[in-house]
Structure 1
Amino acid sequence: MQTQRQVGSSPASPLLPVTLLARPALPAFAGRSAFSESLHNTDPSGRSVMGVRGLQGFVASSCPHVCTTVNFKELAEQHQSKHPGCTPTIVVDAMCCLRYWYTPESWVCGGQWKEYFSVLRDFVRTFTDVGIKLVFFFDGMVEKEKRDVWVKRRLKNNREIARIFHYIKTHREQPSRSMFFIPSGLAIFTRFALKTLGQETLCSLQEADYEVASYGLQNNCLGILGEDTDYLIYDSCPYFSISELCLDSLSTVMLCREKLCASLGLCLADLPLLACLLGNDVVPEGMFETFRYKCLSFYTSVKENCDRRGNVILAVADHIAKVLRLYQGEKKLEEMLPLGPNKALFYKGMASYLLPGQKSPWISPKAKAITTLDKQIISVSSDPESKQGSPESSDPESKQGSPESTDSGSKQGSPESTDSGSKQGSPVCTDPESKQESPMCTDPESKQEDPMCTDPESKQEVPMCTDPEFKEEDPMNMEPEIKRQVTMVSDTEILKVARAQHVQAESYLVYNIMASGEIECSNTLEDALDQALPSQAFVYRPVRQRVYSLLLAGGHDGASCPPVQEWFVYSGNPLTHPDLVRPLQMSLPGGTPSLKLLWLNHEPGTQARRVEVLLACFDLSSSSEELQAVESPFQGLCCLLAYLFVQVDTLCLEDLHAFIAQALCLPGKSAGHLADVQLDRVDPRAVQLGSLLVRGLTMLLLVNSACGFPWSTSDLMPWNVFDGKLFHEKYLQTEKGYTVEALVEQNRARLTQFHQLKSVVCKACLREDRRIASRQLWQPLHSGRRGRPGSGAHRTSFGNSRSDQGQHWREQGPGSRQQEPDPWRRGSSSGWSN
């Protein structure tokens, strides 16, 4: 078992193309420079362009006829003539589109959210104007088998971020687009932006690309819009490239499966086998490296115009067509391939491409049994009387692929893999303080089924729970990635509500916590060399701990809850295993209310209770009256700022001024005006502060979701309260000594609001003995502090309340790196918090 840290307490024929041309050099997204190649790089949101190793490059260089120029307006007209009364629908793999959508010039300062929202609005309007409906899918969670690849990308991203900060410090400006790193929270806020724009937006419960392909097939969609070569393998509706989309003309490239098969001498049913032999998101590339080499050695039609990888693809396809298919029926596939101990993983890889109702000639009845997956849901109970053991199991998954550029050294974890880095411990663990094991027991009410599923038009129900004496199902007739799910709560009614909100992209992380007890957060633009500002992973951990108590304790003592596995990226974390983070009980009059009260009760007074719990999650109950008096949309911002300034002592008065001033000036500025803002320079500290605030807004989303939505979700959206470049401008102005009047641009109404909001935040801080000092007073006392190793100032407490001593944030990371005592930490004689 992997070591973990305990922290604190039927084939679908594609539509005929409009024009039969070789792959063209289409203009890029309106108004932007072409950088479609960057779409194939790792996406910091956690997902990247994925699929079959080398297939994208092979198609582009050796089979250009597979790519055909099409026009969506003409395709929609053809579709309507063939299907009267049916709205042409495109299902969009949103995670593949984030880089395409984010066109604002500034990206390093924390996000140009108003500009970005405008881009999304134009994108949606362009399709709806020609009668095309869009359905957007987002990744819902990272599956365990993909964790190794996820970790490898996160560590790679850390190196990229270090380069970005080095560039900023050297040149005092934003790097070029070649170093582009999407702003923190982009995927999360894109979901809510699309919902605000009236779009159907769904969040996956399993493989995101599997759900996209399934939806496209079952709903007779016009096609799939994305950037993932797996969509060439799925036998679904046509696949269109987002990177080649010209929004002005609505033209793009369609990649045709039939033409790919013709080029390779294969049929559609052979493509999943080809994908697994080449290496894909399930089968590690290195698993068949020797086999591919042998295929290449015997291949006699090597093309001089192909690179080695292209010839390997041709050689493997030739072997399938001339050897494997020749003996098919006489020999089992495992007798013709060197599967060895990886048999189950290999068949799982092939089954992962089979959509509901589809079968494969390459999967024998015996292999079907191997790929049959248990749909039973088991709940983790904190009932000390429960005597049942804890079978090993996995949570529902969402397929996160790897880019075709992923090197062969990347190994994905599997039950058969010997890669120790891929193994995760059982979510059931022993509390080192109580030494009492948190047992996993079968929910006695688990026979109820959840009628809600991702496909709103699909009539197939995905059971929420099944009888423990379940019958094995034919994997060809089920969604292959739904596994035995470990749930952290036993209340099926509440779990159904959480699941529905997750699927409809209305909540954030709540279902992941309740269903699997595991969450992750990707990279943030944080300077690893400047330790005066702690990582957002630590700053907001106490908030998450209180949310865990709310979601998992069922109104009881949070100490009896099992810890939550956190995969958060921060400096020094090798991500070899998750942090095990215990829930932190809140101090509320009458105790913590149940989720049924917060989520399902509509009686008078419940709304006030929801707000009370939300503020308790941020440990701001004593400031409830002042915070609730703040007008929208600044309530959430003030709550967040009060929490931040109490937690992080290196934040100064000028930082607060910049945050408040930019929020007040933002409503009066158009997206175009914000795009025209020019910065004198880029400051690395301001870059990190922008990311820190945006991550805080995602935490507000989590808390608001967990508490039953006491605040309007729209008030928590960054395009209403934050603009990265505008904040950066205000930050630089405060460094120059601008007055408050100048910061709010000589607007009397804003000036009044400024003092009101500042007063609310400062009073909340004073209640926690935190006096926010000016930078001018701070710098002489703390010169040399920023950048000094081990000098972080952070007051996160992991055991009880913030008033307790707690652990120093730099001691909470992997390996508990020991640092010298920090004389600048709150409570010292530094004079910082007099």
Structure 2
Amino acid sequence: MGVKGLQHFMDLCCPEACVTVNLREMARQHVAKGQQGSTSTADTTSPTLVVDGMACLRHWYSCKDWVCGGQWREYMDVLKTWVEAFTSAGIRLVFFFDGVVEEQKRQEWVKRRRRVNREVSKLFRHMKAHGVQPGRELFCLPSGLATFTRFALRSLGQEVFCSVQEADYEIARYARQHSSMGILGQDTDFIIYDSAPYLSVAKLRIDSLTTVLYDRQRLCRTIGLAVTQLPLLACLLGNDVVSEEKMQHIRNDAMETYRINKPTPHSGAPQGQMVLAVSHLVSSLWGRDEVETGLIPQSLNLSAAQRELLKRGICSYLLPGQEVLQRGDISALPSAPAFEKNVSPEILKACREKHVAADGFMVYSVVCEGVIECSNTLEDEEDAELLPQALVYKPCRQHIYGLLLHGHDARTVNLIDGLHTYSSTVDLPTIREWFVYPGNPLKEPDMVHPVPISLPCDPPGLDLLWFGTGPEVSALRLLSFLSIFDCQEFAELFGAIEDSLLAALCLVTYIALQVPALSQEDLDAYLSQAVCLRLKSSQELQQIKLPFLCSRAVQLGSLYVRGLSHLLGANCASGCPLPSAALMPWHSFDGRLFHSKYLLAHSGTEKTVLLESDSSCLPLFVRLRVKLTEACRRRGRVLQSRPNLLEQSHKTTPGYREKHAGRHLGAGESWRERGETTGGLRHGGGWRERGEARGDRREYENRERPWERGRGMRGGCDGGQCRGRYQLAARWSHPPAPGK
């Protein structure tokens, strides 16, 4: 997030450092300058702009509906137009995305996740009260946007990197090493790094390719510092490494001294005063102590721990070739945990290469880091029927971990010209999960144990799955992938239906088995939108009219998209039996289309209307529905029809929510009054109550689960568990068919 208060200071108090530039002209000047300084023009014909992808997400996702799960095809069109604007100007783009959360920044990550959680709660309260999407002030990115954007940009022929260190550092290092024309982002850390010019994506006008350049030289002249003094200023003001709280006493002393010496307040007070006060302090320290040796000035009132923290913060800004202070361990590549006995050196190398090239998902974090995180998802913490996505997909992740870490100390046997690998028993390391969901205080990671997948043969080694050849290995890859979701019987559909539909069927089946609260109508909505999406353009999807928004459908949409990222992780772990493109949301999901299908399905619409009377869609939908039903029945999961009572129009009069609270099909006493368990989780005073969240999650994890009694992951459903008690704030008696 950058340096606390510095962006505000530059925008309001230091306008001379905010220079409007035309990127086309800037590119021409960059090429001319490069040609003057070099006898070869090979590297100067395409000026490079290094793009902070994470900072751009909010600006790229300009689609109208964002709560429904994402308008992915429209988003793809936005990305394509954005990229073409630069390439047509002769500017080469290189994108960087965050690939890890460094442990020294974990608490800052947690703090932001908690803040977003509060915004998500407000968002759901607004939807349930008004039946519409809230304003931009509560905007949340669709689930998985950063993950899928990397693949989207790669599909557009762009160069994309995923960081193995702090992304800001890798961006600044790349830009400096390659003499890039600039860094496009929205993070004041790029002012502190002595790298390429920092350009604002927030102020970018894509039609004219103009934006604001934040000039560090002009900033330094204004505040009386040298460029080399900026890292100390950043740490004293507060950044992701050195929190504001740690240096509060230093800033207080600086402000007191500044006000004595400058009795007339600065026009930008108090933000302007704070930056200027700390700048004056830094200027007074420089040269007084032995800073040229790399020591923190002794005159600063710091404890030993604070001094070490400050040194780490300063070192984090130093790029290769700027060795006044050595970065030491900070610049070192993250070392792998003690997983060497679980994977071969070739696998470790492949994991890192795929990760850096943004060509993989999940495997690097598991194998090379031993930790994985998932940011906020649109989940209603007041909805006790639907399980959080982190718990829904936990068994799936456990199988992915089991496949990745089961051990490579194995003997290989030749069976009818095919290779099968049998591994010896190895103690599997636990994975630290930082997943955001209702009831998780994020005080410590969840320790999750890998679970081997169930196959007719012993689980295969990664070396065989990733590097093996031949039809037998290809079949083993597919079977491993399907086994992660307990959908082995769907192997017969491979090649018979589109890969994206096979992936969608696996995902919907898995969700049906893991979430007993889902009804036949919910699953029909999932399948029908996947089938109908194939025939729709992004323009047709944008024209779909929604009479109101249902908070439960919003959560189901996010649940599905999170599942797509788990499909991607399972596919990578299995050696990619399916092309990654088949797992992208723009091939199997559109939030607005799903929402319309949900409302249609729960209004009792005939299947022909649900499938828009399309002769090609209906038989395909029926085929997938039959496969889903059979797979669930074999695992003891009986799907039941439970249409919701949907109000014709959304009412917002006082007392409306109270009057209709708990109005569900077959409504009687609520689950809180019954004290019943849904999906294996105890409700009344249970895991959703934050005060007891961690203990109740452990109780949930220690319960005997149906899928652990037999092969694969199985979900049971009795009448009490599967009665839908969904509180909806609106009714749709006669819904129109989705517009085209």
User: Shorter-chain TM-score: which interval?
Assistant: 0.7 to 0.9
Residue 118 in structure 1 maps to residue 77 in structure 2: yes
Counterpart of 2:599, as a letter, is L
In structure 2, the residue matched to 1:729 is 596
Distance 2:476 2:256 in 1: 71
Deviations 1:509-563 (A, max 9, x none): 1111001211011111111111111011011101100111111112547772121
Residue 665 in structure 1 maps to residue 516 in structure 2: no
Q: 1:567 to 1:244 in 2, by over 3 A?
A: same
Match of 2:16 among 65, 82, 102: 65
Shift of 1:832: 4.8
Question: Larger % of helix: which?
Answer: 2
Residue 318 in structure 1 maps to residue 280 in structure 2: yes
Distance 1:229 1:538 in 2: 36
Distance 2:398 2:502 in 1: 22
More divergent stretch after superposition (328-337 vs 595-604): 328-337
Deviations 1:98-156 (A, max 9, x none): 00000001000111111111100110011011111111000001111111111111122
Counterpart of 1:651, as a letter, is L
In structure 2, the residue matched to 1:350 is 314
Q: Is the 8 A contact 1:161 1:525 kept in 2?
A: yes
Match of 1:539 among 386, 392, 398: 392
Shift of 1:198: 0.7
Match of 2:358 among 489, 495, 505: 505
Shift of 1:784: 5.5
Shift of 1:298: 2.0
Shift of 1:177: 1.2
Counterpart of 1:272, as a letter, is P
Q: Is the 8 A contact 2:455 2:483 kept in 1?
A: yes
**1:759-778 correspondence to structure 2 within 5 Å:** 759-776=626-643
Q: What secondary structure is seen at the aligned counterpart in 1 of 2:317?
A: coil
In structure 2, the residue matched to 1:638 is 505
Shift of 1:681: 0.5
Residue 51 in structure 1 maps to residue 2 in structure 2: yes
More divergent stretch after superposition (71-80 vs 247-256): 71-80
Q: Percent identity?
A: 44
In structure 2, the residue matched to 1:801 is none
Deviations 1:432-476 (A, max 9, x none): xxxxxxxxxxxxxxxxxxxxxxxxxxxxxxxxxxxxxxxxxxxxx
Distance 1:557 1:649 in 2: 36
Q: 1:732 to 1:149 in 2, by over 3 A?
A: same
**1:321-336 correspondence to structure 2 within 5 Å:** 321-328=283-290, 333-336=296-299
Q: What secondary structure is seen at the aligned counterpart in 1 of 2:298?
A: helix
Deviations 1:14-51 (A, max 9, x none): xxxxxxxxxxxxxxxxxxxxxxxxxxxxxxxxxxxx11
**1:454-533 correspondence to structure 2 within 5 Å:** 480=331, 482-490=333-341, 491-533=344-386
Distance 2:129 2:73 in 1: 29
Match of 1:97 among 34, 53, 56: 56
Q: 1:626 to 1:782 in 2, by over 3 A?
A: farther
Q: What secondary structure is seen at the aligned counterpart in 1 of 2:524?
A: helix
Distance 1:289 1:269 in 2: 23
More divergent stretch after superposition (154-163 vs 695-704): 154-163
Shift of 1:705: 0.6
Q: What secondary structure is seen at the aligned counterpart in 1 of 2:93?
A: strand
Q: What secondary structure is seen at the aligned counterpart in 1 of 2:696?
A: coil
Distance 2:502 2:87 in 1: 34
Distance 1:577 1:600 in 2: 36
Structure 2: runs of 5+ lacking an equivalent: 35-40, 409-422, 646-663, 705-714, 724-740
Distance 2:185 2:292 in 1: 39
Shift of 1:633: 2.1
**1:287-686 correspondence to structure 2 within 5 Å:** 287-299=246-258, 300-301=261-262, 303-328=265-290, 333-341=296-304, 342-360=306-324, 363=325, 368=326, 372-373=328-329, 480=331, 482-490=333-341, 491-554=344-407, 556=423, 560-626=427-493, 629-686=496-553
Shift of 1:669: 2.1
Distance 1:276 1:530 in 2: 42
Distance 2:269 2:630 in 1: 66
Match of 1:76 among 11, 27, 38: 27
Measured on the aligned residues, the alpha-carbon RMSD in Å equals 2.6
Q: What secondary structure is seen at the aligned counterpart in 1 of 2:547?
A: coil
Match of 1:793 among 678, 696, 700: 678
Residue 195 in structure 1 maps to residue 154 in structure 2: yes
Distance 1:680 1:793 in 2: 30
In structure 1, the residue matched to 2:136 is 177
Match of 1:277 among 221, 236, 254: 236
Distance 2:549 2:97 in 1: 32
Q: Is the 8 A contact 2:381 2:688 kept in 1?
A: no
Counterpart of 1:357, as a letter, is G
Distance 2:302 2:269 in 1: 27
Distance 2:297 2:559 in 1: 51
Q: Is the 8 A contact 2:363 2:573 kept in 1?
A: yes
Shift of 1:88: 0.7
Counterpart of 1:216, as a letter, is A
In structure 2, the residue matched to 1:261 is 220
Q: 1:563 to 1:111 in 2, by over 3 A?
A: same
Q: What secondary structure is seen at the aligned counterpart in 2 of 1:125?
A: helix
Distance 1:289 1:832 in 2: 54
Match of 2:94 among 135, 155, 159: 135
Distance 2:398 2:445 in 1: 15
Distance 1:188 1:831 in 2: 34
In structure 1, the residue matched to 2:736 is none
Deviations 1:623-672 (A, max 9, x none): 43246643232110001011111111111111122112212222322222
Q: 1:683 to 1:810 in 2, by over 3 A?
A: same
Q: Is the 8 A contact 1:647 1:795 kept in 2?
A: no
Shift of 1:794: 2.4
Distance 2:718 2:176 in 1: 64
Match of 2:183 among 224, 227, 251: 224
Distance 1:787 1:635 in 2: 38
Deviations 1:597-645 (A, max 9, x none): 0001123321111000001111222443246643232110001011111
Q: Is the 8 A contact 1:487 1:514 kept in 2?
A: no
Distance 1:789 1:781 in 2: 14
Q: Is the 8 A contact 1:489 1:514 kept in 2?
A: no
Distance 1:61 1:790 in 2: 56
Residue 815 in structure 1 maps to residue 695 in structure 2: yes
Deviations 1:754-812 (A, max 9, x none): 1111112112111112121111599655656578796563269xxxxxxxxxxx99799
Distance 2:307 2:55 in 1: 30
Q: Is the 8 A contact 1:266 1:317 kept in 2?
A: yes
Residue 233 in structure 1 maps to residue 192 in structure 2: yes
Counterpart of 2:174, as a letter, is Y
Shift of 1:96: 0.5
Q: Is the 8 A contact 2:164 2:334 kept in 1?
A: no
Distance 1:482 1:788 in 2: 54
Q: Is the 8 A contact 1:559 1:585 kept in 2?
A: no
Distance 2:516 2:509 in 1: 12
Distance 1:266 1:768 in 2: 69
In structure 1, the residue matched to 2:655 is none
Shift of 1:325: 2.6
Distance 2:189 2:483 in 1: 45
In structure 2, the residue matched to 1:710 is 577
Shift of 1:566: 0.7
Q: Is the 8 A contact 1:207 1:481 kept in 2?
A: no
Counterpart of 2:340, as a letter, is V
Deviations 1:256-277 (A, max 9, x none): 0100111011111111111112
Q: 1:777 to 1:692 in 2, by over 3 A?
A: closer
